[in-house]
Structures are given as C-alpha cells and as structure tokens.
Chain A
C-alpha cells in the first residue's frame, strides 16, 4: 500500500487552500477535544493516591456550602479511627480595599492550632505559627497575595464584613506557601470572629479532616456522613479533590456536558471533513472512472478516498495535539488563578488525552471518508467516463 501513498498525498494537496482550510477546521476542534478530554480525565480520577489533597476530606452541610454546621462536629469527627487531624473553616469573605475583582481573594476563618496539621503540605516561609496562635487578631496570608500587595509581617489588614456585620482589624503573622498549590488565601483566627460576633459562635462552614491513608480516606466520608445522618444538620463529606470538582459540578452534570460538547464537536468536524471529501470526490468522478479503466478495483478507489480523508484528519489531529501541548502550560497557569484553581494542580497532560486526540482524528478520517468513498467507488465506469465535470 505504501507505493500508493505519494498518489494519495498528491490528491490531498491538489487543492491547497481547501486542504489547508479543512485541516485547520480539524486542528481547532481537536485542541478543544484535548482540553475536554483532560477535564473528563480529571473527573474520572476521584482518588489518584499521590495527588495533592487526596487524603484530605471536607465535610459540609448536605444541602449546600452556605448552610452552616455545628462546630462540635469537628470534635466528633476527630474521634473516628483513621483521622489524623481535624480543623474548622468558615468563609468570611468581606471587602478588602474595595469590592473589585482585582481585590478579591478568599478570606477564611480557621482554627490556627489545627490548621497546619490538616494542611500539612503548607508551610510558613515567613513569621511563625506561634505568633499567629498567640494573636487572636493574627492572620496568615498566601505568598501570592503577600507579594501582590507588597505586605510585610506585622502589617494591618482591614476587612469589612459583608455576610457578617463586623469589621476586622487583622495583623499579618505569617506567610504560607503550598508545594504545588495555590497561595492566594487569607486565614485568620476564628476566635476573633466569635468574640466580636456572638451569633457566629458554634457555627462553622466546613470541617477539614486529614485521613491517615488512602484506605481511611476512602472509608471515612461515608462514616462521617452516617454519624450525622439523623441530626438536624446532615452532612456531605468528600475528598478535597472531589470537593473542588464539586465546584464545577455545581454548573450541572459536567461530565455529561463535556461529553456532549465533545460529541457535537466531533460531529461538526466529521460533517466539514466529509463535505470536503465529497466535493473532491465529485470533482474527480471522471478521474476515478479512468483509474478503474486502468484496472484499479472499487476497493482500491475506496481506500484512496478514505486514505485521503485519513491523511487530512490525522495531519489536522497531530497539529491540534501539538497546539494543545504548546498551550497547556500557559493555560494551566491561567486556570490556577480562577476559583477552581485547586483543580489546576491535578491538571496534567494525560497520555489518555493524547490517545483520545489520535483516536478522534482517526475516527473522523474514517467516518468522513467512508461515505463519499462508497459513493465514488460504486459509480459505474461508463457513467464516470461520460461525466462532464
């Protein structure tokens, strides 16, 4: 079959502009397919053992993140087997400087004593944990925002409450960084809030649990939820990773959405490509009849046309994959700055994604080529030779 390749290639590029346009129309969707594939892959991997946060569990109110749960839930969870540490979170939000998007970063009240035990992948690069624990109005900030605002240890930060009617005067006691993670959050001592706002006492947003191992991390979510099942505050516990996925899942059934987008995209490429192939086969009705007069069989004609289609879509596919690989890092960096930034750290170039790209372009080539090819190879030679095109 190799000796026919030059012939097939010549046919592919006989109308250069058209072929280039068709190939481009495959490149762009293929980049998209690769990204969608990456997301699907991410969603399909709920518990990749080594990935960050896999042993960390988040417990929240079953109904939703905005419903608080009792703070003593943390103590109850901490007594379960397989739990290494537990800490309490409550979202504060508020306004720093103004409420522009530029000045937005998460501000969360936590329990300093247990915080770093659960987030053992975070460490302080400046200041000290003790200073933070000993100062009820102390806070630690992520390296990213620390740099962005040009803060220094000891600087004061004023947060004007939005959910809570209170203005906080915080002092930076430490700067944290997370190995391979985002660090754009401000954590402050929840005692400060409890003291200035009695109604806040006894309520938390989420309980964060550090599980001992993957076994515990798998078992604990159900165990924890069973514990509170019949209380007035039932819970939902997930691994941190699944929790972050949950953020996107809030948009709806993301998997289905992504999969259907992929199917639509693939169908569109198939339509575009098969249209091109059909046009090019139609232009060559007489040529094909000539080839058959020379002794080329129907099957060979069919293979030539499918071959052309394959060559185009595979060239497009490979270029698409190449662009995907080239844009991956910058896009990952961009993603890290969004609310689902946590996701970006598990965002990698999966071999499955590349394979998906190759399979998709091959299938597109075969499917787009096969119908025009069958049509062209079925036509009678006599009709083909009489065809004035």
Chain B
C-alpha cells in the first residue's frame, strides 16, 4: 500500500515570553494508507502537536508534510480550511460537540461545507449515526448524552464527510472502560471495514493494542514498536538529536 502521510524533517518550536521550546526536531513519519497507528508518549512530548500538524491546524517551524499528493505545509490558511473539510476527520478527547446543537446537527455541521442539499445531508448524517449506533439519539443535545455517546457522536461527525484520514487525540481518555471499549471497537471497524487510515494518540496500552502499528514519542524522538504486520520502516526510524 502507498504512503498517505509523509512528515519530512519536521521542526516545531513554540515561542513563549521567556524562551523558545523545541517540541519536535527533525521528525520523520510515514503512514500507509489503511494503517491504524497508535501514537504513545508521555504528556507534553508533542503528540497533540503532531496531530495538529497533520490536520493542518498548526504550522511547522520547518519541514514538509504531505498528505496524498497535497503538500499541506505549503498551503495557505484558506486552502487548509477547505482541505481539512475534505480530508480530515478529527476526534477529540473532550468530544467537543457544540452544546447548542443536537447530535444530528453536530454531525451535519461538516456537511454544510459541502454542496450536498438538505435531504442528502440528512441521509449522510443518518448513515454516520447508524455506524456509531446513535441513530435513536439524533435529536438529543450533548448534555443529554453519556460520555461514550458523546464520543460516538464526535466520531460520527468525524466520518460523515468520508475523510481521507481520521485523527483521534486520546479518544478514550475521558471514558469509562465500557464506553472506551465501544469507541475502540468502532475505530477498529472503521479501520478494518471502512479502510480508514487512523492516527490515534493514546496513553492507554489497551487502546494502543488495537492499532496495527504503535509508535512512541519521547523527547521529540519517534520509536517504532513492533507492528502487527511486523513491518519495519527503516526510513522513518528514529531521527532525533
């Protein structure tokens, strides 16, 4: 399978008042189409930063990011917004549903950016909610849903546009065991049945074990674990300082 994501020599620095923090330095990462990658690492190691860079919601200090044939690190802000709406589904640790909107309306949001008409949107939302098992809750507001249900609505919102890549930032971080399990099963299905490429940040080894590949980020350095398919990717092995 071909590589769908390529991060090349990524450097990311943050400027605070006092100092400059280098979060990522010469980071390289390649992900193949259809992979389910778990990204682990201690708090503050830069996992969210990597997801944000992949989603095009943050800029690299230097280096290039390719997704498919697009070099997103070269895109303008406006181009990125449009690109995101077509290629990225983002799942948040805190679900981040809009409280004023029902589950249906939350899932419909990304479709407002497409040329789909009302009834087509309704159909797509229906399908997405069906996949996550929330069709009977579509007129519920987030506050009327349990955490697990909120996260599933969040996943429905992420997949409703049928994006190229799903990015999940600690999707089970706030859930109890049972809800977490449901979410993980859902992600596994999305990967195995719907062939979604997934990059999931997690602290939880159990969650990571569902992935086809696990990488550890430590002090700005990526270390590959054994992948399920036992593939060793030499060229994006450890590069650090």
Q: Which A residues have a C-beta under 8 Å from some C-beta of B?
A: 3-4, 6-7, 10-11, 14, 286-287, 289-299, 380-382, 385
A106 CB to nearest B CB, Å = 61
Chain A residues contacting B98 (CB-CB under 8 Å) are 287, 290-291
Does B133 touch A at the CB level, under 8 Å? no
Residues of A within 8 A of B118 (CB): 3
Q: Provide the residues of chain B in CB contact with A293, threshold 8 Å.
A: 55, 57, 84, 88, 90
Q: Kindly provide the distance from the CB of A5 to the nearest chain B CB, expressed in whole angstroms.
A: 11
CB distance from B125 to the nearest CB of A (A): 13
Selecting from B27-35, B74-82, B170-178, B212-220, the interface stretch reads: B74-82
Residues of chain A contacted by B85 (CB below 8 angstroms): 294-296
Contact check, B100 vs A297: say whether CB atoms are below 8 A apart: no
For this complex, 29 residue pairs linking A to B, each with C-beta atoms less than 8 Å apart, are A4-B112, A6-B105, A10-B100, A10-B105, A14-B99, A14-B100, A287-B96, A287-B99, A289-B57, A290-B92, A290-B98, A291-B109, A293-B55, A293-B57, A293-B88, A294-B84, A294-B85, A294-B109, A295-B83, A295-B86, A295-B88, A296-B81, A298-B77, A299-B78, A382-B57, A382-B58, A385-B52, A385-B92, A385-B96
Task: State A294–B84 Cα separation when bound (angstroms).
Answer: 7
Q: For chains A and B in complex, what number of residue pairs have CB atoms within 8 angstroms?
A: 69
Task: Determine how close the nearest CB of chain B comes to the CB of A305; give it in whole angstroms.
Answer: 14
At the interface, yes or no: B110 with Cβ under 8 Å from chain A? yes
User: Which residues from B are CB-within-8-Å of A14?
Assistant: 99-100
Q: Which residues of B contact A298 (CB under 8 A)?
A: 77-78, 81
Contact A292 B113 (CB under 8 A): no
Do the beta carbons of A290 and B81 come within 8 Å of each other? no
Report the nearest A residue to B163, measured CB to CB: A295
- B100→A295 contact, CB < 8 A: no
Give, as a whole number of angstroms, the nearest-CB distance from A19 to chain B: 12
- Which residues of the partner chain A approach B82 to less than 8 Å between Cβ atoms? 295, 297
Note all chain A residues with C-beta closer than 8 A to B99.
Answer: 14, 287
Q: Is the CB of B101 closer than 8 A to any CB of chain A?
A: yes
Docked pose: A380 CA to B55 CA in angstroms:
13
Main secondary structure of the interface of A (DSSP, over half): helix
Q: Which residues of B contact A381 (CB under 8 A)?
A: 52, 57-58
- Complex Cα spacing A162 to B88, Å: 89
Chain A minimum-CB-distance residue to B97: A290
Q: Knowing A294-B85, A294-B157, A297-B81 are in contact, say whether A11-B109 is a contact too (CB < 8 A).
A: no
The answer on a CB contact under 8 Å between A292 and B81 is yes
How many angstroms between the C-alpha atoms of A286 and B92 in the bound complex?
12
Chain A proximity of B175: nearest CB distance (Å): 19
Q: Which of the four size classes fits the interface of chain B?
A: 20 to 34
The dominant DSSP class at the B interface is: helix
Bits for B38-80, please: 1 = Cβ < 8 Å to A, else 0: 0000000000000010010110000000000000000001100
- What is the CA–CA distance of A4 and B112 in the complex, to the nearest angstrom? 8
Which chain B residue lies CB-closest to A14?
Answer: B100
Residues of B within 8 A of A299 (CB): 78
In the complex, chain A residues whose CB is within 8 Å of the CB of B113: 294-296
Which B residues touch A292, using CB under 8 A? 57, 81
User: Apart from A3-B112, A295-B85, A381-B52, what are 8 other A-B pairs with CB-CB below 8 Å?
Assistant: A7-B112, A14-B99, A290-B98, A291-B98, A296-B85, A297-B78, A297-B81, A299-B78
Query: B86 — nearest CB in chain A belongs to which residue?
Result: A295
Chain B residue with the shortest CB-CB distance to A382: B58
Max chain B CB contacts within 10 Å: which of A4, A294, A385? A294
Residues of B within 8 A of A289 (CB): 57
The smallest beta-carbon distance between B75 and chain A, in angstroms, is 12
Structural contact, B84 and A380, CB atoms closer than 8 A: no
C-alpha gap A297/B110 in the complex (Å): 12
Contact (Cβ within 8 A) B84 A10 = no
> In the bound complex, how far is the Cα of B55 from the Cα of A153, in angstroms?
94
| Contact partner, A286, options B58, B96, B101, B112, Cβ 8 Å | B96
**Residue in chain B with minimal CB distance to A294:** B110
**Distance, CA A385 to CA B48, complexed state (A):** 11
**Distance between B10 CB and nearest chain A CB, rounded to angstroms:** 15
CB contact under 8 A between A10 and B86, given known A3-B112, A292-B57, A295-B110:
no
A382 to B169, CA, bound (A): 13
Whether B101 contacts A10 by the Cβ 8 Å rule is: yes
Q: How far is the CA of A299 from the CA of B79 in the complex (A)?
A: 12
How far, in whole Å, are A6 and B57 apart by their CA atoms in the complex? 26
A385 contact set on B, CB distance < 8 A: 52, 57, 92, 96
> Residue of B at shortest CB range from A297?
B81
- Of the candidates B78, B90, B101, which one forms a contact with A294 in the assembled complex, judged by CB atoms under 8 Å apart? B90
Minimum CB distance partner of B85 in chain A: A295
Q: Which of A4, A293, A297, A380 has the most CB of B within 10 A?
A: A293
Q: Is B58 a contact of A295 with CB atoms below 8 Å?
A: no
Residues of B within 8 A of A287 (CB): 96, 98-99
**Minimum distance in angstroms from B155 CB to a CB of chain A:** 13
